[in-house]
Amino acid sequence: MMGNFGYGGTGWIGMIIGSIVSIAVLIGLILLVVWAVRRMSGNPAHLESRNLTSQSAKDIAQARYAKGEISRDEYQQILSDLGR
């Protein structure tokens, strides 16, 4: 009268372990996709802030002027404030 339980219940243990492994693989795939999307999107503001820390104030002002973020007068004022 063992029924459908197999060899003393090992079928249930295998089913539980298989479910845990399947869930772990699914979570791993989701994390991999999230990581890949973040890596490919490359947040420009984040990358730019990293570059700004290694530049001098004059270099930053020059880059902002070249991009058109500040006017010529503002650029010259910054250079004057920095002592050129």
Which of 56, 59, 61 lies closest to 75, judged by CA?
61
Region 32-41: what's the mean pLDDT? Answer: 90
CA distances from 58 to 1, 9, 36, 50, 65 (A): 86, 74, 36, 16, 10
Say what the pTM is. Answer: 0.41
For 38-83, write each residue's pLDDT tens digit: 888 876 655 555 555 678 889 999 999 999 999 999 999 999 998 8
Stretch 6-33: mean pLDDT, rounded? 86
Residue 10 has what pLDDT? 65
Q: Domain-by-domain residue ranges, the chain?
A: 1-41, 43-84
Contacts of 79 (CB under 8 A, 6+ apart): 58, 61
Given a contact cutoff of 8 angstroms between Cβ atoms, the answer to whether 29 and 21 are in contact is: no
Q: Is 55 or 9 the better-scoring residue by pLDDT?
A: 55
